[in-house]
Structure 1
Amino acid sequence: MIETFDNYKIALLRREDGEAFFNLIENNRVRLEDFFAGTVSKTMTLEATLNYCEDIQKRIADTSYLPYMITDLNTQQFVGLVDVKNIDMNVPKAELGSFIDSRYEGKGIVTKATKHVMDHIVKEYKFIKLLCRANSRNKGSIAVILKNGFELEGTIRKDYRTTKGEIVDLNYYGRVFD
C-alpha cells in the first residue's frame, strides 16, 4: 500500500529505510520511550536499527507486524508511524499504535494517516476488530483514537511496563467493522 494525502505518503517500512527510521526514533526518543518501549529498545544504535528492520521484513512477510511509515513529501523524511501489531487472524483483529515527530504534532497528520491505514487493512486483511491502547495521560493519542471512531471499552489496571520500569494502567479502545 502506498497512499498519499495532503503532502504526505504512507507506505510499509522497507529494508532500505533503516537509517531514516533510526533518525525518526532518535529525534523523538525521549518522548517515545515510555509508550513505544519495544521499538525504542531495538533502535538504540543505527546498527541495531538496521538489524531490527531486517527482522521487521520477515514479520511483514508473515503478516505478524505491519509498520506504515508517514513521509513528508516535501522533505522525503519520515515524520511518523502507524503500526499494526498483535495481529490475530483467527478473529481477525489487530492493535494499532501511532506516533508523530514532535515538529509535526497537532496538525492532524497522524489522525488522517491512521484513517488511511485502517481503511486499507480492513479491506485488505478483512479485520473485523481493531483496538488501541493508551495511558490516560497520553491526550494526543486519545484524541487520534476518538477521532477515528474508537470507543472506550475499559481500563486494564497494571497492564504495561514503561521503559523506566513504571507499571501503568491502559485504556482499551475498540472499533468493530462489518
Structure 2
Amino acid sequence: MINFENYTIRPLELRDLEPYFYLVDRNRKRLEDFFTGTVSRTANITETASFLQEIVQKREAKQYFPYLLVDNTTNDFIAFFDLKNVDWSIPKTEIGCYTDEKYSGKGLTTRAMKLFIPYCFDHFNFKKIFLRTHHSNKAAQVLAEKCGFEVEGVIKMDYKTTSGEIVDLIYYGKLNHEIL
C-alpha cells in the first residue's frame, strides 16, 4: 500500500466488486478501444465478479497485479493501475492505467504513478517497466513522459481494438536504475 496526501494506492480486492464495476461502467465508452478485456468482461455485476475472481487467481500465480488509487475521504476509486504481461525471466512488466473521467486532468494519476513505479521496482524487483499507448491517447503519452519513460519505438499492427481494428502502438520504457 502507498499513501500520499489524502490518497492510497492499494491492490484491487474481491470486496471492491461494486465500486470497481461502477468505475468501469462510468468510463466504459472511454475504455472500450484500449481496455478491451476489461470492458468485455464487466458488462454486469455477475460477469464482473467472475472477472475479479480470475484476477485474484492471476495475482496469486504472480501473473497479473491490479491496483486502485482511492480517495481516503470519499472512498472514490480515482484510477486503476495494472501490471500485466509479466515476464519473470527478465524480469519486466507492462503497466496500464486509466483514470475516472471526473478526476482526469487534475494531476492525481501522475502523482500516484511517480510513487507507484518505484514501488513496483522495489516490491517486485522488476528491471524494466514498459507502457504501450496509441498515438491518439495524448494523456497517456504525457503521463509516461512526466514519469520518466522514454519512447523506445512504434510497433506496427500491435493491438486489436474492440471494433477489430489493428493499430500501431507507441512503446515507452523505464529501467530500474532510472527511478525519479
TM-score range, shorter chain: over 0.9
5+ unaligned residues in a row in structure 1: which ranges? none
> Residues 83-136 of structure 1, C-alpha deviation per residue, up to 9 Å, x if partnerless?
100001110000000110010011111112222221111001110111000001
* Runs ≥4 residues deviating over 4 A: none
Matched, 1:125 2:124: yes
Corresponding position of 2:99: 100
How far, CA to CA, are the matches of 1:26 and 1:135 in structure 2? 22
Deviations 1:61-82 (CA, angstroms, capped at 9, x unpaired): 1211111101112211212111
Mapping of 1:18-167 within 5 angstroms?
18-167=17-166
Q: Aligned partners of 1:16 and 1:82: how far apart in 2?
A: 17
Aligned to 2:62, the other structure's residue is in SS state coil
Root mean square deviation of aligned Cα: 0.9
Q: What is the Cα deviation at residue 7 of structure 1?
A: 2.1
| Aligned-partner Cα distance in 2 for 1:35–1:5 | 28
Other structure's SS at 2:129 match: strand
TM-score by length of 1: 0.96
- In structure 2, what is the Cα distance between the partners aligned to 1:177 and 1:11? 21
2:7 aligns with 8
SS in 1 for 2:28: helix
Q: Distance in 2 between matches of 1:28 and 1:7?
A: 23
Aligned residue for 2:164, secondary structure, equals: coil
- Residue segments in structure 2 that go unaligned for 5+ positions in a row: none
Provide the rounded CA distance (Å) in 2 between the counterparts of 1:93 and 1:120.
14
Tell me which amino acid in the other structure corresponds to 2:161.
T
Distance 1:122 1:10 in 2: 15
Give the TM-score normalised by the residue count of structure 2.
Answer: 0.95
Aligned length: 177
Deviates more, 1:88-97 or 1:112-121: 112-121
SS in 1 for 2:148: coil
Aligned to 1:175: 174
- The aligned amino acid for 1:135 is H
- The letter for the 2-side match of 1:83 is D
Greater mean alpha carbon deviation, residues 138-147 or residues 116-125: 116-125
